Chains A and B, each alone.
Chain A
Amino acid sequence: MIDQITVFLENSEGRLAALCRTLADADISMSALTIADTTDYGVVRIICDKPEKAIEVLNGADYRAVATKVSAIQVPNRPGGLAELLETLDSIKLNIEYGYCFSVNGETAVDVLKIRGAAQAADAAKVIEEAGFKLLSQEDLA
């Protein structure tokens, strides 16, 4: 499991830019950023190299940021990479809240999944590793 940072943002001009600038000024490097938006607000989810520091900096700058445990799984960067992982997960009953992918080098991609419930996440980890996928840690991403 790795730490994702989740930031609550209002849908207003310049907020995302200001958020990124705040992280940049704190020398935090992001490897992924995704936005889930509604009419009034957005929830920004970020994978970065120093999540604890990021949360401290953001809350200090009057953002609302929390750490969220998510599963990060390395998959081959080729057609079918994600499909194989999800088919594996299909075999156990899982409640996936959301997911997104990013690629850090040419050969592999990282799938991030938020699995509801700690017990379910542990079950999933077992199945994922048995199927030959690699679960990443914070250090793996650094």
Chain B
Amino acid sequence: MIRPVCFFNQGAACPVAYTKGVYMGENKDILTLPHEQLEALQLEGIKKTVVRCYENVPFYKQLFDEAGFDPYSVETLEDVAKAPFTTKQDLRDNYPYKLFAVPMKDVREIHMSSGTTGIATVGGYTDHDLEIWGDCFARGVEYANGGENDIMHVCYGYGLFTGGLGAHYGGVAAGCTTIPMSAGNTERQIRVLREMGSTILCCTPSYAMHIADTAIAMGLDPAKDFSLRAGIHGAEAFSDNFRADLEKKLNYKVLDVYGLTETMGPGVAIECLEQNGLHLAEDHFFAEIIDPETGEVLPEGEWGELVLTTIDREATPVVRYRTRDITRIMPGECACGRTHRRIDRLHGRTDDMLIIRGVNVFPSQIEDVMKTVPELSSWYQVVLTTVDHLDRVTLKVELEQGFDFDEIAAIERLQKEVESKMKSALSVGLKVKIVEPKSIPRSEGKAKRVIDQREKGE
């Protein structure tokens, strides 16, 4: 079967000539291409990426020059390790457009990861970038043996968050009937799942569980009343037990999906039905695993930090981006027969980033908001718990001396003010709990700011 060409980019010329014929939409064989050929493709793409970065983005020119890296000298994939790393801080420092490698007229869409009050990391997408994004996520549908006969129900949040539109583009690219539900209103989600006969569910794993449990509480049996056969769930970690429970309740197969706004969004790697590692889209991303302390590249099979280089991203290419995610490249070939190498399911992070209901949150963002509220002291603690399978965040904070709390209403006003400021800065709601002075433990050295008591999906 020849897949329908993705609806983006109809007739539009790519601003940069990358190797044609590598998109799954035009050539499904890409998923089983012998690995040497994939590597040749990667090398060809990376050579262009580093040169384009050097010539079009002043940040990369300076970065490469200072590191003594010659972008014109890349001859093998091993040479990529000579390039310096790019970090999230670099992306923030170059907010909003300074890392764009194409003229703005060629940028079709913008996404952002939630950032510190005002400073987000920005991803730009040309027509071509949107096409490969849809294509990468569409592989999840392909891996689930799905296609144009599927109805994809997307209840990741739509908006700047890459989850919603990334899944949506994937559904469209795979030829699915795509329902843009976005997040929230669980009862309506359940009604649509039931009445529209959705077959593929895309959302965070915890929200899938919440949907299942809510349906059961409403007296339904989602295993029978829904028509699901696959779920493409990502943006947060989940255990094998959690997966088994979810699969039983919804009577479908759960596939883990990985991605990040800094390199594209969901679809960088997705599990196949073997459920034994996530196939990287190696025709679009070059992955290395490094020792986070030394920066040395680690051999296949060893755990370390995932570093990604985009192979054919046009608007915002990245070179050796440090994801801070800990995983490994799984040795050997997958039983499914596809040649793209697999990363293992994530094992935490090398920084203090929290993933709350799929949204990335740094404790420093919380501190930045607190600084704008003079009534609050700088003593705080973030407590993460699980309620009905969903993350619950409580910010415990001590008051500054001098705040007149004689009226309960004054305390409530303060709580509401902080909650609303946090919500707009973090894109995730939290509950503020004022606590007594000195009740946040004072520790020697690094304060324990985050208490994670979540169930970890077990």
Residues of A that sit less than 8 Å from B by CB: 4, 6, 8-10, 15, 36, 38, 40-41, 43, 45, 59, 62-64, 66, 68, 97-98, 114
Contacts and interface: CB of A to CB of B under 8 A. Distances in A.
Given A40-B434, A41-B411, A62-B438, 8 more contacts: A6-B405, A8-B436, A10-B435, A43-B405, A43-B411, A64-B436, A66-B405, A66-B406
Interface residues of B, number: 17
Nearest to A67: B406
Interface string B387-418: 00000000000010100111111011000000
B449 interface: no
Contacts of B409: 97
B405 A62 contact: no
A84 B406 CA distance: 27
Contact of A62 (B412, B433, B437): B437
A8 B405 contact: yes
B406 A114 contact: yes
Contacts of A8: 399, 405, 411, 434, 436
Contacts of A62: 436-438
A46 to B, nearest CB: 12
B438 A38 contact: no
Contacts of B404: 66, 68
A10 B407 CA distance: 15
Contacts of A97: 406-407, 409
A64 B439 CA distance: 11
A9 B399 CA distance: 12
Interface string B418-445: 0000000000000001111111000000
B437 A63 contact: yes
A64 B403 CA distance: 9
16 contacts: A6-B405, A6-B406, A8-B399, A10-B435, A10-B436, A10-B439, A38-B411, A41-B434, A41-B435, A43-B405, A43-B406, A43-B408, A45-B406, A64-B405, A66-B405, A97-B409
A38 B401 CA distance: 21
Nearest to A37: B408
A112 to B, nearest CB: 12
A59 B434 CA distance: 17
Contacts of B433: 40-41
Nearest to B409: A97
Nearest to A39: B433
A34 B399 CA distance: 22
